Structure 1
Amino acid sequence: MRHTTTVVVLAALLVLAGCSDSSSSDKPAVTASAAPVVSKAALYLADARQVTFTGTPPDNELLIFPPQWCAALGEGHSVEWLLGQDDLYPNGPEWGTAKPDAYGLVVAGVKAYCPASLPVVQDELRETGAY
């Protein structure tokens, strides 16, 4: 009886273990089909390229602004305040933006870098008629 019990237990373990060659290539590979990850910078730059600029801003200069805007918004500042600061207004040594285009750039930056602030930004710009 003991021998039979041992054989049954071993057989059950082999079935549970799968007892197949783990190097077998006839099994289809299992891969997760996740959507491609797009960086904040790529999202922002895609929208930023739709803005009209005077001159052609390099990406590295455009990418300076969104983290700074998000930090200032997190401190409770408004979009008007942001664009009233020389170091936060979107322009560079050889490029610039008109105020209506600067609003669009701020929206693009907030949408990509701090989307939780987007409703506040949109509400402010709607109230001023800028959005």
Structure 2
Amino acid sequence: MRHATILLAAGLLAGLTACGTDSPSNDKPAAQSSPSSSPSPWVVQREQYLEAAHSIPFNGTPSDVELLGYPEPWCDALKEGHSVEWMFDIFKGGMYPIGEEWGTAEPDAHELLVAGVRVYCPEHLSAVQEELRASGKY
């Protein structure tokens, strides 16, 4: 997961540094994007998830990078048929949202999971909510 984040950041930086012109006589500034252009779906997903995540109380302060590291593995595990209980079990899935300097109470971890699933893999949202409700923890 860290490699994917590093590669993504490198790709973004490479894209920013490649903003030159081929013609030395072109002294006009680069065209600005029109106000009607919309951000990519990836950016919208990221913003929606982080907005929800920032409303959740944590014991400490996770970084956005740390928070963004959870939805993809959660969605992958759900696609493989794993349960929330399996994902959050430290000895099985090991995907409980916790960091070295921050933690999450179980109800808040469930809220973060639901926020991530709602944005990144909504096809699994009802199953996740049903499991959490059935356990009496949501």
Q: TM-score, normalised by structure 2?
A: 0.66
Superposition pairs of residues 51-130 of structure 1, within 5 angstroms: 51-85=56-90, 87-130=94-137
1:81-114 deviation digits (Å, cap 9, x = unpaired): 1111364110111111011111111001101110
Unaligned stretches of 5+ residues in structure 1 = 1-30
Distance 2:125 2:50 in 1: 17
Identity %: 53
Asked which structure has the greater CA Rg, the reply is 1
Instruction: Say which is worse superposed, 40-49 or 84-93, in terms of deviation.
Output: 84-93
TM-score, with length taken from structure 1: 0.69
Per the alignment, residue 7 of structure 2 pairs with: none
Encode CA deviations 1:39-65: one digit per residue, 9 max, x unaligned.
211111111111110000000001001
Tell me how far apart the structure 2 counterparts of residues 108 and 43 of structure 1 sit (CA, whole Å).
8
Structure 2: stretches of 5+ with no match in the other structure: 1-33
AA matched with 1:130: K
- Aligned-partner Cα distance in 1 for 2:90–2:69: 14
Aligned length in residues: 100
Aligned-pair Cα RMSD in Å: 1.9
